[in-house]
Amino acid sequence: MADPIYVLQSIATGLLLGGVYGLTALGLSIIFGVMNIVNFAQGDFMMLAMYATFFLYTLFGVFPLVSLLIVIPLFFVMGIGVQKFIINRVIDKPPMTHLLITLGLSIVLQNVALAIFKADPRSVITPLATTAISLGPLYLNQAHVVAFISALIMTFIVSMFLNRTYFGKAIRATADDREAAMLMGINIDRVYLVTFGLGIALVSGAGVLVSLYYPISPAVAWDFIVLMFVAVVLGGLGSVKGALVGGIIVGLVQSVSTIWLTIDLRNIAVFAAFVIILLLKPSGLFGVKRE
């Protein structure tokens, strides 16, 4: 049996990583919940945000947490642009076209990044990544702690926006029933623009945080997009709580599995857990309707 301190340590690390996974999945989940679109390019926007963080830090010395203030608005606008000029063209077409257009976008973004930045990985090296906070017998990586806390704050702000503001309510009304929302005088086009912008802004924020401790490469999206999918399928697409809980499960399983498995195989544990949960509880953790 593994050393209990080590087990506790992995649980703590898993929790910290999981909170950030929750944020990476949140944008995907909101876009799906409101627009019924699975955005395959979500991970690629995250990759772009990671490069933005890298260059802001290395070229201009902007500390990653400060660059949140630059990256998030920038990607919000980018998301609105993508919605307006690309997604909107197929919004009334069958779901397959949404999948394919975002898949095409993902392929384009990833390979544009490959052409410009080349394949070699880069890292944002801040003092945070190499220092640890001790908490009793546990050592927590500072980069993980900072990313976790920032992710929770951002998740909380989004939750407040959706629940407490007028526009947030309009977004939720559209998610519940598009036609009824339209009849109530909600401008659906604008809701879609803001939703997509918000979804991309959120994943870009997650990208900034992830780059505190994860190497950046053009294909980094594929390390995350599937984990995002797992998190939202477990937690239920379209729910803030679901994305967070799903993300934390992914983080915990990944981290705790390294007690028995080598680090390369940790995602096998995630997928295995995913399969087992599907087997035991096909309706998902919160019993949401899966249509």
Partner 1 sequence: MKISFAETIAKDRFLILVIILLIIPYVISHPWFLRIATLTFMWAVLALSWNILGGFAGQISFGHAAFFGLGAYTSTLLFLYYNISPWVGLFVGAGVATLASLFIGYLTFRLRGHYFALSMLAFPLILLLIFSYHPLEWYELRFPFLGDAPLYFQFASRHSYYQISLMLLAITVYVVRMLDRSRIALYWRAIKENEDAAGSLGVNTFKYKMIALMISAFIAGALGTFYVQYVLTLDPHIAFGLHVSVNAVVMPIVGGLGTIWGPILGAALLVPLGEITTALWGGSLPGLHMIIYGIIVMIVIAMIPEGLYPRIRKVVSFR
What residues between 34 and 53 interact with partner 1 by CB under 8 A? 36, 38
Please, which residue, 5 or 268, has the CB nearer to partner 1? 268
Listed ranges 47-55, 186-194, 206-214, 268-276: which one lies at the site for partner 1 (CB under 8 A): 268-276
Number of residues that bind partner 1 (CB under 8 A): 50
Helix (H, G, I), strand (E, B) or coil at 177: coil
Q: Alpha carbon of 79 to those of 39, 127, 183, 193, 239: distances in Å?
A: 11, 32, 26, 8, 20
Q: How far is it between the farthest Cα atoms of the chain? A: 61
Does 229 engage in binding with partner 1 (CB under 8 A)? Answer: yes
Token output for 185: 């005088």
If one asks whether residue 86 binds partner 1 (CB under 8 A), the answer comes out as yes
What is the rounded CA–CA span in Å between residue 34 and residue 15? 28
Q: How far apart are CA 271 and CA 253, in angstroms?
A: 9
* Residue 34 · residue 237 · CB < 8 Å: no
Choice from 9, 97, 159, 258 touching partner 1 (CB under 8 A): 97
- Which range, of 92-100, 123-131, 136-144, 242-250, touches partner 1 by CB under 8 A? 92-100
Report, in Å, the least distance between residue 76 CB and partner 1.
22
Q: For residues 278 and 271, what is the distance between their CA atoms, to the nearest angstrom? A: 10
Give the residues lining the site for partner 1 (CB under 8 A): 32, 36, 38, 86, 89-90, 93-97, 99-101, 103-108, 110-115, 118-119, 218, 222, 226, 229-230, 232-233, 237, 262, 264-265, 267-268, 271-272, 274-275, 278-279, 282, 290-291
